[in-house]
Amino acid sequence: MHRTSWKVGGAVLALLMAVSACSSGGRGSSGNTPNAPKTSTSSGSGTSAATTFGTLASPCGKGSATGATDQGVTNTSIAIGYGDDRGAAQAPGLNQEIGDAVKAMIKWCNDQGGINGRQVVGDFYDAAITNIGPAIQSACAKDFMLVGSGWAADEAAEQTRVGCNLVSTPTYTVGPDYANGPMVYDALPNPVDYQPASGLFQMAQLFPDTKSAFGVMSTNLPAIQATVAKVKISAAAAGFTVVDCGVTMNYTGEPNYTPFAEKFKQCGAKIIYLPTPGAEVNGLLTAMNQLGVHPKYIMQANGYVGSFAQWNTAGYGNDVYVQSAFEPIENASEVPAVQAYVNAVNATGGKLATLGMQATSSFLMWATAAKACGSTLTRQCMVNKLSAVHDWTAGGLNAATDPGANMPTQCGLLLKLDGTKWVQAYPSTAGKFDCNASYVVKLPQSVWGTTLNSDRIATRFLTDKVITPQK
């Protein structure tokens, strides 16, 4: 029996945001585009003349590939499934930037001639959180692959996806069985058994006096608590002493944040981990400033949103730092790949956000592998090619990743709030990431949320019919 239902509501949204944070994505909604630049006419723009995307040679162009080689593939076209949850009643427009980015990249690619001459046809699925089952069933029936998709309830349809051998290069993964699922190649891997923790190590280097007292803000949502458990393990690995300040808030907000600020003050926290941006974080930062307490703060990548910066008119968030594996949109004029993303999305009137860049990275990785398959474009060929990708930057859009091994990046940068703007705090040079193997922390099985086999593949829905890499 297929699993076609999942509990929804605040817990689902928090889970999406928590895992997206690990993936490097931002929380996408209207007004959350961080200081977006305008379209440029530089190389890599969304025109038919584009031959590069940053430093990546374009995988798109004319050619003579032929053959109905697999489901969704004809002499002239390749059908892919993609989508987001923009129709969610709980959060209208949720992560619309994901679908907007894939739509833009399909046009960017087709304007150059498609992939080896085949036009890319995109089938868009708005899962609206609760409709993930029908979306995956439709994709199973007609699409070649899932490309750049991002759905909050992906776990609920994982058995269906595996059952029809639908290979995926997602924007991000939420469910543990999808994060380590078979036939999944994420441009920015977010596996359950390893944690990307560059920001924690970098904060320990920049502010060694904070290492003696690492406090954590949590909420009463299990999804946030699961993320907090991983952060505590990673903070200890980075050299911090984690202190229990006893701060667990209601995820819907609190009438008074002063008691929580008092707890952090009393326990002597010198650096505090903050979960998803919102009323709780804003309220705590305000209360801490009113008490005259000024620790450093660290957030995962979902902290990087325009609405958070716009709130910071009083400067209460000026000690907030955010870990990221993607170049910020503010660096577009200095990083050609970011400018190429901005140009492509602006050309189709879409929304700009970090998750859009993440979707773009996955699309480019898919397109690069599809080009290499040529007239032998099959799911087996794609699995073979994608499993061999061990150094992926999407032309400079993101830090180097290892999608083929499903390992998090060893690199990252820190962004910082400066009034109502985001600035790159470390490394100081735009376009640079700080890398170290120690920035990837191995997690104990107790926090995985699933069971993995010796190949680190989730076993819950695994069958002997899945497509595996062939050498």
Both 54 and 175 in a single domain? yes
302 in the same domain as 228: yes
Residue 432 lies in a domain: yes
Length, in residues, of the chain: 471
Cα 339 to Cα 409: distance, rounded to the nearest angstrom: 22
204 plus 111 within the same structural domain = no
In-domain check, residue 241? yes
Q: Does 239 lie in the same domain as 146?
A: no
C-alpha to C-alpha distance for 171 and 168, rounded to whole angstroms: 9
**CA–CA distance, 149 with 83 (Å, rounded to integer):** 5
In a shared domain, residues 338 and 388: yes
Task: Report the domain count for the chain.
Answer: 2
Residues 6+ apart with CB under 8 A from 2: 133, 157, 159, 160, 163
Residues 350 and 303 occupy one common structural domain: no
Q: Which amino acid is at 37?
A: P
What is the C-alpha separation between 407 and 410, in angstroms, rounded?
9
What is the residue-level pLDDT of the chain in tens, covering all 471 positions? 333 333 444 444 554 544 444 444 333 333 456 665 666 544 444 444 568 999 999 999 999 999 999 999 999 999 999 999 999 998 899 999 999 999 999 999 999 999 999 999 999 999 999 999 999 999 999 999 999 999 999 999 999 999 999 999 999 999 999 999 999 999 999 999 999 999 999 999 999 999 999 999 999 988 889 999 999 999 999 999 999 999 999 988 999 999 999 999 999 999 999 998 999 999 999 999 999 999 999 999 989 999 999 999 999 999 999 999 999 999 999 999 999 999 999 999 999 999 999 999 999 999 999 999 999 999 999 999 999 999 999 999 999 999 999 999 999 999 999 999 999 999 999 889 999 999 999 999 999 999 999 999 999 999 999 999 997
CATH classification at residue 110 = 3.40.50.2300
Residue 273 resides in a domain: yes
What pLDDT does 24 receive?
42
> Is residue 299 domain-shared with residue 388, that is, in the same domain?
no
**Residue 348: strand, helix, or coil:** coil
**Helix (H/G/I), strand (E/B), else coil: 320:** strand
Give the domain range for residue 148: 43-188+332-403
What pTM was estimated for this model as a whole? Answer: 0.91
- Please indicate, yes or no, if residue 381 is contained in any of the structural domains: yes
Is residue 2 in some structural domain? no
Whether residue 225 is contained in a domain is answered as: yes
Which residue do the tokens 């505090």 mark?
272
What are 166's two structure tokens? 């639908």
Asked if residue 295 and residue 169 are part of one domain, the reply reads no
- Same-domain pairing of 83 and 149: yes
Answer yes or no: is 417 within a domain.
yes
pLDDT number for residue 33: 60
Q: Which residues contact 76 (CB under 8 A, 6 or more apart)?
A: 117, 118, 119
Q: What is the pLDDT of residue 35?
A: 62
77 and 152 both lie in a single domain: yes
108 found inside a domain: yes
**Residue 110 · residue 119 · CB < 8 Å:** yes
The distance in angstroms from the start CA to the end CA of the chain is: 33
Q: Strands, DSSP E only, in 85-183?
A: 119-126, 145-147, 168-169
Q: Do 124 and 272 fall into the same domain?
A: no
Rounded to 10 degrees, the C-alpha dihedral 260/17/271/36 comes to -120
Residue 38's pLDDT is what? Answer: 61
378 with 434, same domain: the answer is no
Q: What is the pLDDT of residue 31?
A: 42
